[in-house]
Chains A and B, each alone.
Chain A
C-alpha cells in the first residue's frame, strides 16, 4: 500500500495567473509534497490529504494548460500545472482515489490517525527545535543529511535516538513537582477600595493545599458538597471564616461560630490534626521528644513552680477554642510541603476530584504506616559521634596521577586491540571440532610423556617474538608521542584524512546504534530498517579501504590501527545479522525472503 506513490514534475502556482515555480510533486496516500527546483525562491508545500476537501482539473482538449486545483478545508487552494495531460490524469486519478478512501475512513479512523500522526506530524515547536539542533551542530547536520537524505533512516528514526537532546521534552515529562515552599493557602482578601466587598480568589492548586493543610475543611467538603450546599456556597463560607480569622477579633469569631455550625467547622481547632499529631509524635526521635519531657516534670505540677516572674508567658484569653494561630498554620504548611504532593492537580481540574483523590491517597498512607504507628519501640535515637575524634573512615586510596592522559588512552587502545585479537583466536579454536581437539590434546600429552616437561609450553622464540611485536607497538607510539605530548596519532595525519576518519567513526557509531537497538526484530518495519542499515554498513568497508590506500605507507599503519576497531565492530554487526537471517530462514522454511 505504501508503495502507492506518484512523482511528477509540475509547477506550483498560488493562483491561475501565477507563472509558478517548477519542481517535483510527490504524492502518497497520506500527503502530497512539492519540492521546488530552486530551493531559495520556491516554496515547499506539504499538504495532508486529510485537509483536502475537493479537487478540480482542466479538461483535455480545452486550450488551457493541464492544471489541477486542490481545495483545502480552510478554503484555500493549491494549483499545480503539469507538463502534459497524461501526467495530469495519473495525478487526478490518484488524488480522487485517495480522497475517496480518506472520506470513507475518516469517520472511524480519525482517532487512530490522531495517534499515529502524533509522531509523524510534528508540532511546529518540535520542528523548530530540530532545526535549531541541526544548525547548532554541524556534525549532526552531516549525519542527518547522510542518513535521512540517503533514505537509510527515516526522519523519525533518526530523531528517536536523540530524545535526550530535546531538553524541553524532558521538562515536559510527567515529573511530579512538590508543593511550593511559599504558603499559598493563606489567601488574602482583596478590597476594591470603594465598596465593602472583599474578594478571594482560589485556584485548584490553592484548594489542594487548603485540603492538605486543613483536614477538617477537606472532611467538611466531602460531607457537605454537594448534598448540603453547592461548591460556591462552601467556598464562600470558607472565605468568610478566613476573613474572620484575619480580623483577629476572637470574640467576633466566637459569636459567629455559635450562630452557624457549618462556619464553626472552619473556625474550630482541627480534631483530625490533633489526632495526627498524637500519632506522629510516637515516631519522633527520642532525643527531640519534648513531650516525654513534660511527662517527667513534676516540678511543674499545676500550680507549682514560679508563675509570674516574667520569664513565663501569659496565658491567652479563654476563647482559645476559636484561635487558630498563624504559627500553627506555618508549621502545618511546612510539614505538608515536606510530605510531598500525593495528588496531581493538573490532571484533576475539578475540586471534587481533588478532594476525592486526596482522601484516597490519605487512606493509602494510613494503611501503609498503620503498623509503624503501633509501636514506639521502632524509634531510634540519633547520636552524632564527634566526627573529628574518630579515625578518618575513608578507605586507603592511591591517588590517581596521570601525567599525560594521552599516554593512558593510547595504550588502552592497544590493549583493546590485543584482547580483540585474542578473542578472535579463541573463536578459531572453538570452531575446530571436539575430535580434533581431543586428538591434539592426546598428541600433546604423549609428547610430554616422551620428552618430559623440560620444554616450556611455549617455545621461547615464539614468546619473544610476540612480546617484541606487542611492545614495539606500544613503544613506537610512545616514541612518536615522546616528542610532543600533545600530539596524538591523529595529529600526524593530513587534515582531510583525519576529518574523513572522524566522520566515518561517527557514521559507524550512529549506524551501529540504530542497528543494535532494532534487535530483536519483531515487526516487518524493523526488518526493513535493519536491511537498510546493513546495506549502509557494508558500503562503508570499501570507503575505509579507499581511505587507507590513499595514504602513504608510513601513515597507513597508524590509520589501519585506528580503522581496525571500526571494522571489527561492523564485522560483528554484520555477522550477527547474517546469523539472525539464517535462523529466520530456517524458521520460516519455505518463505526465504518473505518475512512478514
Chain B
C-alpha cells in the first residue's frame, strides 16, 4: 500500500498495516525530520523491522536532493540475513510501484569467513585462520613478491577484483551474503573486498553492531560513513552490554605464554631482517620519528584490526622515542608481560583502578603511560615491517597491546580485577586479569556524535528512561508502543507452584531441591501432551540446564517427554546448536513436534525466532539473574550507583526481566500468530519483579494468572489453545480497528481520526 505520512509518501509492501506500525513510522519520521536520536520500544510481533525499513527507504526516496544513507545494525549474522530478506521484499515492491527510480543498493557485510569464495582459504578452520589465510595471499608484499615469482600463491578472486579496478561495482539491488558470494563467484571478484568497497556507495548497509561499536573493527570498516546517515540498532535491549564488552580485555596465563612465544618469534624476525634487509627497519624508525604516519595511507589489504581505543581518544602524536626501535619495543613488551605474570600470581581477588595500575607498571616495569598508550600502533607497525601474515598466531601479543593501550588511554569507567580462580569453581586455579569497562556510553559516544540520527529500537526497552542514562544521550523521541490485539493471542502465566502445590523457584537456596526439578519436569510432561508442534524452554544458565536435564534423565521424566515430542538442546558448541535448531524446525514442520531447551542470555535467546508453529509455548524456568557474586558485576553495579544513581537491586531485576521478556517474546511474529508464555518461578508473582516486564506482556497478564499451580496452568492452556483454533475477524471489527487497509487509512487521515488511533 502507498500512503502519505505528512510530507512523505510511504511505500509499504503489504496490503494492510497495523495501527501501531503507522504510529511507529510517524514517530520515526519526526525524529528524522528533527535530525535527532530516538528510542522506540515496540512489542515483538508487530512488524517492527518492515515498518522501519519501509519508512526510511521511503524517506530517502522522497528527499532525493539530500540522500541519506541508512546503516542498519543487527546483533547477529542470521538476523542480518533476515533483515536483508525483508528488504528484498520491500525493494521488489517499491521498484514495481515506482520503476527504476526506486532502485537502491543494499548490501550486508560480514567477515571474510562468511564472504570468502576461495575454497583454499575457506578450508581454514576458524575465523582468525581464514583471515590469516587471506592475508597470506593478498598482503601487498606477498603480491609484490608474486609478481616476480609465479610460485607464490595469490588469490585469483582478489587479483581479478584489483584488475577490474573501478569497473568492479555492484549493480543496484539487495544483496544478502549469499547473493554477494554468488555474484563474486560469477564475476570472479572477491566478494569481501567488493562489499567493503561498495559500502561507501550503498544506500543501505546492514552489518552487525560491532562494525560501529567496537573500535577495533569500526576503525577499519566504518571510518568513511558520512554524517547524513541514519543508524538503526535493532533488538537493542542489550546494547549496553555490547558496548562494555567492546572495550574489555582479559589476560590469562595462556595469553602470557602465547605472547612470550610471539615475542620470541618477532625477535628472530628482527634478527633475520637485520642480517638481510637492515634498511627496512631503519625506514620504519624514520617513519615513526616523523609521526604516526602509517594510518590512512595503508593499502586495504594490509589493514588489520584497528586500535582498540575510540578514535577521538587516539593521540595524534609521534611514537615516543623509547619504543621507536624494534628491539626496544620488544624489550618493553617483555617487561610488561613479565609484570603481568607477576600480578597474576596472586592468591586474593584484587581490584584496582587504571590510574593506580599504570602507576605501578611504571614503578615496577619502568614503562610510562605514553609508551603504553602507543603499544597497539607500534605493534601494528612492527608487524607490517616484519611482513607477518599469519596474524592468527599473533593474537596473544595483540591482546597484551590492546590491554596496554586501553589501560593507558582511559582513567575512568574502567577497573582492573584480578581473580585467582572462578568463584564458582574455587578448587581449580585459573587466574585472570580483567580490564573491564563499566561505562556503556564510552563506546557508543562516537556513534551519537558522528551520525545525525541514531535509532535504538527493540521489543524490550522497559524502563525506557533507563537507556538514555546508561548510554548518555538525549533522544528527541522516546516512545513505548502498546500492542493492539485483535484477540488475546498471547497468554502469559505465572506459575508459582508445582503439581504438589509446593513453590517452585530457581532461587539459590531452592535450586538444588529435587522437588523443584521434579515439579518443573512434571510441568513440561503435562504441557508436551497438550500443546501442538513446538515448545521452547529457557533455563537460567547452561550449568542449571545440564543439571536439571540429568536429573530428569535419571528419574525417567525425560523419557516421558520424549514419548510426546523430540528433544533438542542448545549446547555451547554453536555448530551443534545450529543443527539442532534446523532439526527442531524440521520436526515441527513434519508434525512430530519438538521441545527446544535453551538458555536465557544464550545465543538462541538472542536472535532466533520461534514464530508460528515453531513456538506455541515458551516456558521460562526461573528468573535469569546474573551471577551476583561476580566481581566484575559488583564493580559495574558500584559504578552505576555512583555515576547514575541506579540502585543495584533495580539494575539486577531490570537486567533479569529484560532477558526473560526477550526469551518469551520470541514466539509472536504477527497478530495472526499465537502463543503462551509461562514464567515458572514464584518470584514472578511479586510486584516489584513483575512490573519490570514490558507493558505489552503485562497488559495481557491477568490477575487470575498470577499465582498458578501446574494443574491450573494446564487447564488455562487447554482453554487457550481451543480458543485460538477458532476463526476470527482479522480486522478486529468494532470501533477500534487493529488492521488498517489503504481505504481505512485514507478515510481516517481525512477526518483526522487517525490521531485517536495512535498508540
A interface vs B, CB < 8 Å? Answer: 181-183, 186, 277-278, 280-281, 284-311, 313-314, 317, 325-328, 330-331, 334-335, 337-338, 376-377, 379, 381, 383-391
Contact = CB atoms under 8 A, between A and B. Distances in A.
A286 B669 CA distance: 18
Contacts of A335: 579-580, 583
B566 A391 contact: no
Contact of A327 (B559, B571, B612): B571
Contact of B566 (A291, A314, A338): A338
Contact of A386 (B50, B245, B631, B636): B50
Contacts of A390: 14-16
Given A182-B563, A306-B245, A325-B546, 13 more contacts: A286-B78, A288-B582, A290-B577, A296-B127, A298-B210, A303-B255, A304-B248, A305-B245, A327-B549, A334-B580, A384-B611, A386-B672, A390-B16
A302 B252 CA distance: 10
Nearest to B436: A306
A390 B76 CA distance: 28
A295 B210 CA distance: 13
Given A289-B78, A331-B571, A182 B399 contact: no
Most buried by A among B214, B395, B626: B214
Interface string B229-258: 000000000000010111011111001000
B16 A388 contact: yes
Could you say which of A288, A314, A383, A385 has the most chain B C-beta atoms within 10 Å of its C-beta?
A: A288
B417 to A, nearest CB: 8
B630 A308 contact: yes
A276 to B, nearest CB: 9
Nearest to A306: B248
B578 A304 contact: no
A306 to B, nearest CB: 5
Interface in B569-604: 569, 571-572, 574-583, 585-587, 590, 592, 594, 601, 603-604
B217 interface: yes
Given A288-B578, A288-B581, A377-B182, A306 B592 contact: no
Interface string B588-630: 0010101000000101100110011000000000000011111
B15 A295 contact: no
Contacts of B607: 293
26 contacts: A281-B575, A285-B582, A286-B176, A286-B177, A287-B81, A290-B78, A290-B574, A295-B130, A299-B210, A299-B217, A304-B216, A306-B632, A309-B436, A309-B626, A310-B633, A311-B627, A325-B546, A331-B583, A334-B580, A337-B566, A338-B590, A385-B14, A386-B47, A386-B670, A387-B670, A387-B673
B208 interface: yes
B78 A331 contact: no
Nearest to B559: A182
Interface centre among A284, A290, A377 (most CB of B within 10 A): A290
B298 interface: no
A309 B434 CA distance: 10
Contacts of B208: 293, 296-297
Nearest to B423: A308
Contact of B434 (A281, A308, A381, A383): A308
B592 A181 contact: yes
A294 B47 contact: no
A215 to B, nearest CB: 15
A298 B212 CA distance: 12
Interface string B668-701: 0111110000000000000000000000000000
B694 to A, nearest CB: 20
Interface string B701-738: 00000000000000000000000000000100000000
B114 interface: yes
Contacts of A294: 127, 574
Given A295-B127, A334-B587, A389 B670 contact: yes
B30 interface: no
B511 to A, nearest CB: 15
A326 B550 contact: yes
B666 to A, nearest CB: 13
A297 B574 CA distance: 13
Contacts of B86: 383
Contacts of B541: 313
Interface of B: 14-18, 47, 50, 76-79, 81-82, 85-86, 89, 110-111, 113-114, 126-128, 130, 176-178, 181-182, 185, 208, 210, 214, 216-217, 242, 244-246, 248-252, 255, 305, 395-396, 399, 402, 419, 422-425, 428, 432, 434, 436, 541-543, 546, 549-550, 553, 558-559, 562-569, 571-572, 574-583, 585-587, 590, 592, 594, 601, 603-604, 607-608, 611-612, 626-633, 636, 669-673, 730, 739
A334 B583 contact: yes
Contacts of B574: 290-291, 293-294
A270 to B, nearest CB: 12
Contacts of A338: 566, 583, 586-587, 590, 592
Contacts of B76: 290, 293, 296
Nearest to B627: A310
B502 to A, nearest CB: 27
Contact of B543 (A300, A301, A313): A313
A327 B546 contact: yes
Contacts of B422: 308, 314
Nearest to B624: A311
Given A309-B636, A389-B17, A389-B670, A293 B78 contact: yes
B536 to A, nearest CB: 14
Given A182-B562, A302-B399, A327-B569, A292 B626 contact: no
B636 to A, nearest CB: 7
Given A293-B78, A308-B434, A310-B633, A334 B566 contact: yes
A303 B592 contact: no
B595 to A, nearest CB: 9
Contacts of A182: 559, 562-563
Given A303-B250, A306-B245, A330-B569, A298 B628 contact: no
A307 B549 contact: no
Nearest to A385: B89
Contacts of B81: 286-287, 289, 381
Contact of A310 (B177, B550, B626): B626
Given A293-B76, A306-B436, A299 B559 contact: no
B428 A381 contact: no
